[in-house]
Structure 1
């Protein structure tokens, strides 16, 4: 289904084309960091819609579906900004049930979510499979942290996002993202492809 050619859709199509210049075929994982919980969700949803429009078998996930439990995050005392940054997400489960099996392709099953933070409990496993040239768009704060950098084929930072200072100092997200997107005018985002 063709999306209406609004300035936003046209900008996202241009971003998709830039990503496809490097990754024409095979499984592709794109990360979107919009700062704060859910900050990049709308952008990631819209980017996924443009990938679908292009005919790609496209899936959406969020780091919010891979939180750790409150008990784990507070095991050493009250939760702080630093403990949340260091322990707020279960990267091991993210890799084991989503990223690694998605990259394998074929009949390997993957899960788009493993934990419900609002209910503070794991979610029931729902395993999916996808075609050889599928796309996975993942949003979330801290997706550009050093421990996850190699997980993405392409990464996007929304430059108008409010970022955690510890994250900025540890990860330099603006310096490491493949694409910087200014969404000050959400109707017409402007992006810059970083020169390798």
Structure 2
């Protein structure tokens, strides 16, 4: 593996070109994965406008709107990294309401959010229909290695020291979950695109040699 430095302003352009380099007779399900310290939602948001400019319909979805109820997330306490890794995300709901409808022959009807974790209740969001050839942009953490039906995966990686430095003290209990993620999911090797973001001002694309 080697790191190829890339200007921050060029990251979005390269990703848009890759996403758009696909037939327009089917949907594209794209995940931007990374720890909260890497702000994967910011990159996913930045892709929306440029993709629409090249004629792609876009729906934005965040995995944080598909968490399980607090009674399940906190069943063994609020700071259990293994529960955070294994049980916080409502994988079945995310697949059922967002990813499966965008399989070939699917309905194209996507539920943009399911659960408001702050209020701990259903969001009651309305379904939206993604035009054929459109792009679903999903952001979240710990998404890989879960057999999610995705067409392109982008992983934002941080070194352990950078991750620890950029994670707020209140969230330091999650760090063992991300260490486990590196061991078990190996996102740097399994993601389609990997971007090193130890210093967001100087990102680098990680490429196979």
Indicate the larger mover: 101-110 or 161-170.
101-110
In the alignment, the residues of structure 2 paired with residue 91 and residue 192 of structure 1 have an alpha-carbon distance, to the nearest angstrom, of 28
User: How far did residue 106 of structure 1 move?
Assistant: 6.6
CA contact (8 A) 1:181 1:190 kept: yes
RMSD of Structure 2 on Structure 1 (CA) = 2.4
Count of aligned pairs: 185
Instruction: Write the mapping of 1:1-196 to structure 2, written as runs, cut at 5 A.
Output: 8-21=8-21, 23-25=22-24, 26-36=26-36, 39-75=39-75, 77-79=76-78, 80-104=80-104, 107-144=107-144, 146-148=145-147, 150-160=148-158, 162=163, 164-184=178-198, 186=200, 189-192=203-206
Instruction: Answer with 80-89 or 166-175: which moved more.
Output: 166-175
Cα separation, 1, equivalents of 2:203 and 2:86: 31
Question: What is the match of residue 168 of structure 2?
Answer: none
Summarize the Cα distance change of 1:56–1:9 in structure 2 as closer, same or farther, 3 Å threshold.
Answer: farther
**Structure 1 residue 158: deviation in Å?**
1.1
Instruction: Could you tell me which runs of 5 or more consecutive residues in structure 1 were left unpaired when the two chains were aligned.
Output: 1-6
CA distance in structure 2 between the partners assigned to 1:104 and 1:44 by the alignment: 23
Structure 1 length as normaliser, TM-score? 0.83
Residue deviations 1:74-110, cap 9 Å, x none? 33x2240001111101111111111111335675421
TM-score normalised according to structure 2 size: 0.78
**1:66/1:171 CA distance change after superposition, 3 Å:** same
- Where do 5+ consecutive residues of structure 2 fail to align? 1-6, 164-174
Give the 4+ runs in structure 1 shifted more than 6 A: none
How far is the alpha carbon of 1:128 from its aligned partner? 0.5
d(CA) in 2 for partners of 1:135 and 1:38? 22
